Amino acid sequence: MSTRKVKPAAHAATTNGKEKGEYFCGIDIGGTFTDCVVRDQAGRLTIAKALSTPEESSKGFFAALDAAAAKLGLTLHDLLSNTQLLLHGTTLGTNALLERKGAKTGLITTRGHADAIIMMRSVGRSAGLPLDKLHHVSRHQKPVPLVPRSLIREVSERIDFSGEVLLPLNEDEARTAIRELLDQGVQAIGICFLWGFANPAHEIRVREMIEEMAPDVYVTCGHELISKPGEYERAAAVAINCFIGPMMSRYVIRIEEQARALGYRRPLVIMQSSGGVAGAAEVARTPVFTIGSGPAGGLTASGFLASLLKQNNVIASDVGGTSFDVGLVSDGVPLSGTETTVNQYTFSAPHLDLVSIGSGGGSIIWVDEKTGGLKVGPESAGANPGPACYGHGGTRPAVTDADLILGYYNPDYFLGGKLQLDKAAATSAMDRVGRLLGMTAVETAAGAVQIVEFQMAELMRQMTVERGFDPRDFVVYGYGGAAGAHVAEYTRELGCRRVVVPLGATASTWSALGVQAADLLHVYEKSRLFMAPFPSKEFNQIFEELERPARLQLHKDGLKDSDIAIERAVEMKFKLQIHTVEVPLRCGKLSDRHVKELETAFIEKYERTHGRGSAFTAAGIEIGLFRVRARGRIRRPSLQKRTAVKSAGAIDRREVYWRRFKAFRTTPIYDGARLKTNAVVKGPAIVQLPETTIVVPPRDEGHFDGYGNFLLTLSD
């Protein structure tokens, strides 16, 4: 059996109120801002933001922590020395892969299979491409290989699907391959043999040889990452892990060392794309599973709040500075997937099902020279230089500039007044784009905002309607720094009427809070092929084999049985098809009736995804993978009721452009911190909070609930 385990340090799981330390700190690094949420023992939340520092991400990490400490009246050392758990969500690995700023990587594989990662799958030319590029089929091409053919070596060995050794490993060939790769200056070496997950002996032996010959070289074995068939997917995962591994290792070590120097005495815990957390040491070995961990934090937090508010169906939408991310909570559970595509490379790994596009507050507004049309994104202004209004040297307008021009933002109160916005610079930058179209700066800004909101609604439509969900059955959560300004309109375009801006100002740092809501997670998998009708006896044996070490590991992590939750699932498909569907099933002893019900559940889920009548039952149904997710519940956020305040009316009025009127209107501005719970705000209105701004369009209305969530109800 091959497994993938996520192993944070044991004492990270056993945190309790009697131990030293008062605070829990969650940090999420985005493309524009680094967000921090500090929670104390009573559940009070302190949020802070700092500009991200792409040249050295650790600077933004500690700058955000320092800003939070200042709000608490503490030094950074005081905060960290009294922190029980420091949790981190990062897009560092994703960015390194997208920008191709990784290690020089070599790959050792079974003789005759060196080209698997070069050939990819047939969809490799178009996998993961945005819609506008998919239209130009003639321009599709495979990505530049992460591992060039010159750095791939073949070794004679062969293990069959059952794990039996058919051809022993040729150690002389392996040693020669290692030496040749080292002579070419590789910094990392991946080992991926054809059936290595069925019997990892050969992969383990080659790793031992590399460690003997070059102990400083980063090494990854395929069986450590993926335990199911898929030669290309496993090779891609190994290559990606090696490509980002040395950089991620240095990063987490640097963060831990700096935190330790500032008084933190516990391990750093990092968010995984699966929705669970892992210790820094584990992340250093398997960084590929952090890809997408930032958005995963937001969806995890949405699942936590949805459970509290008893909202079973939620569309979670994250409008950050660089991207727009969407995930779903269906029947109270965040939806997950089993394949990830980044930079056209597809690899297998359990992950929360999130889709992203380049539409955020920092998305550049531009004119397509070929079509003469106004475009928004996917290129982003990032944190440096940022939108033109930041005054950091940016000259190209972004969505944030458009929001400022239209009156959504108060230029003197952005980030609570910490960042003064330059409206003149935003208008000048927008005017340069508008002149190419024969439009004013205001017309261009209004058009750009409508375009970006339609792009957001279209992605949400793909995530719901195209998967068989009716979006009218869902509540939309809008979070991220720029969500409040746009969530009403992209929700209306989707056809929904209910919106939640979670916890008001905390919505701008929602993913950082989500890291604190995550569980310890161990994923155990076993690849076995069965055709329907399925044997309940063998299923019980397989799940017992998977669950025994899962529970043992969580016990070693310091968790009691009452804090452990086991989830079962199988991957099913129709015979001769390649697309699999993950189907959950009950825990406990399975009967013949239970496994028979799997067939019905699979067909229902398949047709919900691919359309009614698409199930080809005559082909037969098969199961190829058994999966157990073992969750250890560490401390969850506890939300306090909102502090009672005396109701206050509008604190100001300013001119705001409204699409419904196609003109500016004098609009009341409310201080969100001074609005009484359940006090109704009728649009048009602006609700101003230090870290975010909520736009209430005409005829819509909203109010804060007891927890501080701003609830919007949209007009027809």
pLDDT tens digits along 416-445: 788 889 999 999 999 999 999 999 999 999
For residue 212, pLDDT over 60 is answered with yes
CATH of domain 293-336+452-516: 3.30.420
Q: How confident is the model at residue 133 (pLDDT cuts 50, 70, 90)?
A: low
Q: What is the mean pLDDT of residues 656-666?
A: 95
Q: What is the mean pLDDT of residues 612-632?
A: 88
For residue 456, pLDDT over 90 is answered with yes
Q: What is the mean pLDDT of residues 71-100?
A: 86
Return mean pLDDT, the chain: 87
Q: How confident is the model at residue 207 (pLDDT cuts 50, 70, 90)?
A: very high
- Output the six-digit token pair for 700: 């819509």
Considering only CA atoms, which of 661, 636, 526 is closest in space to residue 39?
Answer: 636
Q: How confident is the model at residue 267 (pLDDT cuts 50, 70, 90)?
A: confident
- Choice among 9-13, 236-240, 286-290, 447-451 with the minimum mean pLDDT: 9-13
Q: Give pLDDT, residue 635.
A: 65
Domains 3-96+249-290 and 519-632 share a fold: no
How much of the chain exceeds pLDDT 70, in percent?
A: 91
Question: Three-state SS string across 214-258, please?
Answer: CCCCEEEEHHHCCCCCCHHHHHHHHHHHHHHHHHHHHHHHHHHHH
Q: Give pLDDT, residue 71.
A: 92
For residue 697, pLDDT over 90 is answered with yes
- Output the six-digit token pair for 59: 């600077």
- Choice among 92-101, 443-452, 495-504 with the minimum mean pLDDT: 92-101
CA dihedral 54, 55, 58, 63 (to 10 degrees): -70
For residue 501, pLDDT over 70 is answered with yes
Q: How far apart are CA 62 and CA 74, in angstroms?
A: 14
pLDDT tens track for 576-602: 887 788 899 999 899 999 999 999 999
- Output the six-digit token pair for 169: 């490993």
CATH match for 519-632 among 3.30.160, 3.30.1490, 2.20.28, 3.30.1560: 3.30.1490
How much of the chain exceeds pLDDT 90, in percent?
A: 49
- Choice among 186-195, 268-277, 491-500 with the minimum mean pLDDT: 268-277
pLDDT tens track for 243-260: 999 999 999 889 999 999
CATH match for 3-96+249-290 among 3.40.1500.10, 3.30.530.20, 3.30.70.270, 3.30.420.40: 3.30.420.40
Q: Could you tell me the residue ranges of all domains in the chain?
A: 3-96+249-290, 293-336+452-516, 519-632, 652-713
Q: Give pLDDT, residue 546.
A: 93
For residue 20, pLDDT over 70 is answered with no
Q: Give pLDDT, residue 123.
A: 64
- Choice among 83-92, 337-346, 531-540 with the minimum mean pLDDT: 337-346
535-548 as b/e, with b when 16 or more CB fall inside 10 Å? ebeebbebbeebbe
Q: Give pLDDT, residue 162.
A: 86
Contact 348, 579 (CB under 8 A): no
Q: Give pLDDT, residue 14.
A: 34
Q: Give pLDDT, residue 505.
A: 87
Q: Give pLDDT, residue 450.
A: 96
For residue 125, pLDDT over 60 is answered with no
What's the number of CA atoms in the CB half-sphere (13 Å) around residue 698?
12
Q: How far apart are CA 464 and CA 461, in angstroms?
A: 5
SS3 at position 500? strand
For residue 626, pLDDT over 80 is answered with yes
Q: What is the mean pLDDT of residues 681-702?
A: 94
Contact 242, 217 (CB under 8 A): no
For residue 8, pLDDT over 50 is answered with no
Q: Give pLDDT, residue 41.
A: 83
Q: What is the mean pLDDT of residues 402-409?
A: 96
Q: What is the mean pLDDT of residues 174-191?
A: 96
For residue 268, pLDDT over 60 is answered with yes
Helix (H) or strand (E) holding 375: strand 374-380
Q: What is the mean pLDDT of residues 451-467?
A: 91
Q: How many CB atoms lie within 10 A of CB 565?
A: 13
First to last CA, the chain: 55
pLDDT tens track for 34-83: 899 999 888 888 999 888 887 788 899 999 999 999 999 999 999 999 99
SS3 at position 29? strand
For residue 481, pLDDT over 60 is answered with yes
Q: Give pLDDT, residue 16.
A: 36
Locate tokens 């758990």: which residue? 85
